[in-house]
Amino acid sequence: MKRVFSGVQPTGNLHIGNYLGALKQFVELQEDHECIYCVVDMHSITVPQDPKELKQHTLDIAALYMAVGVDPKKSIIFAQSTVPGHAELNWILTCNSYTGELSRMTQYKQKSHGAESAPTGLFMYPVLMAADILLYDTDIVPVGNDQKQHIELTRDLAIRVNNKYGETFVVPEGRFMKAGARVMALDDPTAKMSKSAPNEMSRISLLDEPSKIKKAIMRSTTDSDGVIRFDIDNKPGISNLLSIYSAFSGKTIEQLEKDYEGSGYGQFKKDLVEVTVDALSPIRERFLEIRGSQELIDAMKNGTERANAIAEPVIKRVKDRFGLGI
């Protein structure tokens, strides 16, 4: 069975971009893969976090994994900081990375705003992500499109170490959705939907009430020609809504274009509200059941044990290759 690893940062509520780009794949893959799903709490402290909130967010992301359908009996769910191998491998990979390649990472450039002095953690973020992935001999990494560059770096680091020290790491591959790999902001379809954007109406969170979902979709930015057709360059707003509709309903974009031929944006948006509310309501209900439950704590503790059992022999192998220890 091929092994799958992915992670989500415990920063705030997840939105439908996170779901359609990443979490939906988590659920699909667990049927015929060995899956490891991590809440990457150590990544989130690359920017300051309130300690109490961070702990709660970590539990909430794990609860959301379960609410969307990740089954802790099939998949491993755990918090990154509870497996020491992540930090150990992080250092070893740091010593095999270059400042040049890390300065070229788009996410770093965006988050550091080109400042001359930025937090070192932000700079090192992609190396820790590579450590997460390589620690489990991962074959497949399901993520959104925005992580492509980080996956490439992970592969480069793995290949570099393999060439220098002999076969050490499995070289992983990214896995991206057809519809949903890059969900755009509802108020500005040229920007990625993001947890951190100031405008609440730019996103739909997985736990949003139907009234908020309705408001955000009905107000979403579209063009003025009124034709429901997929054309990212000239009609980014309606194209984004078509992608979301397609991802939630399972209908192809071509089918939707046919279904809505001749009808206006108003009707299309109304139907999209219904499709979205129907998809998110069971997630919200399940989340409220799991949040604060013993089931959640047990699943995460069990996840840590199982993750450690996979990571320990890999760390041992890496240390042997590098001549670390006695």
Nearer to ligand ATP, 16 or 92 (CB): 16
Burial class (CB in 10 A: 0-12, 13-18, 19+), 326: exposed
Q: Which residues, 6 or more positions from 87, have their beta carbon under 8 angstroms from its beta carbon? A: 42, 131
List strands edge to edge, sheet with 140-142: 76-79, 34-39, 3-8, 140-142, 173-175
Q: Which of 55, 148, 195, 215 is catalytic?
A: 195
Q: Which of 111, 148, 212, 251 is catalytic?
A: 111
235 flagged as catalytic: no
73 flagged as catalytic: no
CB of 290 to ligand ATP, least distance (A): 19
Residues 1-20 interacting with ligand ATP (rule: CB under 6 A) = 8-9, 17-18
Asked if residue 319 binds ligand ATP (CB under 6 A), the reply is no
Q: Give me the 28-47 binding string for ligand LTN, x by CB under 6 A, dash otherwise.
A: ------------x--x----
Give residue for tokens 């509200």.
Answer: 273
Question: Of the listed pieces 6-14, 45-53, 115-123, 315-323, which binds ligand LTN according to CB under 6 A?
Answer: 6-14
Q: How many residues line the site for ligand LTN (CB under 6 A)?
A: 13
- Helix or strand holding residue 36 (H, E): strand 34-39
Q: List the one residue from 62, 64, 143, 247 that touches ligand ATP (CB under 6 A).
A: 143
Return the residue nearest ligand LTN (CB atom).
7
* Distance in angstroms (rounded) separating the CA atoms of residues 291 and 297: 10
Q: List the one residue from 4, 9, 82, 187 that touches ligand LTN (CB under 6 A).
A: 9
- Helix or strand holding residue 8 (H, E): strand 3-8
Nearer to ligand ATP, 10 or 303 (CB): 10
Residue whose C-alpha is closest to residue 121's, from 111, 106, 136, 132: 111
| Residues marked as catalytic | 111, 192, 195
